[in-house]
Amino acid sequence: MLPTHDLCSAVVNVELRHLRALAAIGDEGTITDAAIALRVSQPALSRTLEQLEHRLGTRLVERTTRRLALTEAGQRLWEHAHRILTQVDDALSEASTGPRPLRVGFGWAALGRHTVPLLRGWRDHGPDTAVQVRRCDDPEVSLRRGEVDVAFMRTTPTDPGLVARALYSEPRIAAVPEHDPLALRDAVLLADLVDRSVALCSTAATTSADLWPVGLRPDTFEVPGADEWVTTIATGDAVGVTTEATGHSHPHPGIRYLPLADADPVAVYVAWPRRPTHPATSAFREHATTLLGAAPPRTARVHDLGF
């Protein structure tokens, strides 16, 4: 570890090109792919990374013959690098084109039936600030990296630099193939799914085997994203458990969404950085709270899901 005065000197010597190099390496997973993304040679990118590590006096990337992975320090700096680079790009863009839109992040199910009223209400009655909607695989990571200014989440953030406010509770629903005997019911129970395989979406954090009692848990397996999750269920390879919003955001002719009568609802939160990254953050947060925060807890019904 470098002495404090040497470390401060090293930080001063870190340039944007160093941060762009680490950001690309963390994003792409290999030096080769990162070099292609940055349009530089692989040797040049390797030298930039080595220079950054030397100036900081710590290893940021673990390299083996088979893989490349960020160290703990590298992971932290990778997220900071994204935020810093985003802020720099925003500042340069605003200097030439004016204020940027407020970036709002949603998970893959968005807010279901609330999504369009929320955005239309902001457009029609909110401040004169455009909103740019971004889908996030992990809204908390997107907030930490400065990719969005406000995000809607179904878990509370773990980063102390983020603040969250609960808005409403959302019922859980089951997703079953249209030819499954369960599709004929008006509602199902968790126990009804135990003898079937349950697909878990890796980009959602609301469902796991822990939803079922110990000893009465179904076989589960993970799929990488929403499209794979929907397709897996529609083809009859599994069933799924999700929140009510999915029935609105991802209707599918091969899937029947049914109320899950004995599962606890999921809280929906609006989250933002403790140090806001956009001047309209507070106004949008209050807009969301006014529209959604007074929504009473609901029990999903079949007609609510679009059927």
Domain boundaries, the chain: 4-95, 99-169+266-305, 172-259
Domains 99-169+266-305 and 172-259 alike in fold: yes
Q: Would you state the pLDDT for residue 303? A: 42
Q: Would you state the pLDDT for residue 206? A: 86
| Pairwise CA distance, residues 260 & 300, whole Å | 8
Cα-flanking dihedrals φ and ψ of residue 188, to 5°?
-135, 165
Please tell me the pTM assigned to this model. 0.74
Record: fold of 4-95: Arc Repressor Mutant, subunit A (1.10.10)
Structure token digits, residue 125:
């009655």
Edge-first strand listing for the sheet containing 255-259: 240-243, 172-177, 255-259
Q: Does domain 172-259 have CATH number 1.20.1530.20?
A: no
Across the chain, which has 307 residues, the per-10-residue mean pLDDT values are: 49 81 88 89 91 91 80 89 80 76 92 95 88 92 90 92 94 97 96 96 87 94 93 96 94 96 95 92 95 59 46
Half-sphere exposure of 257 (CA within 13 A, CB side): 25
Q: Would you state the pLDDT for residue 125? A: 83
Q: Would you state the pLDDT for residue 81? A: 86
CATH of 99-169+266-305, one of 3.40.50.300, 3.40.190.10, 3.40.50.800, 3.90.1150.10: 3.40.190.10
Q: Would you state the pLDDT for residue 299? A: 44
Contact predicate 142/83, CB 8 Å: no
Inter-CA distances, 223 with 106, 135, 138, 195, 200, Å: 19, 18, 15, 19, 6
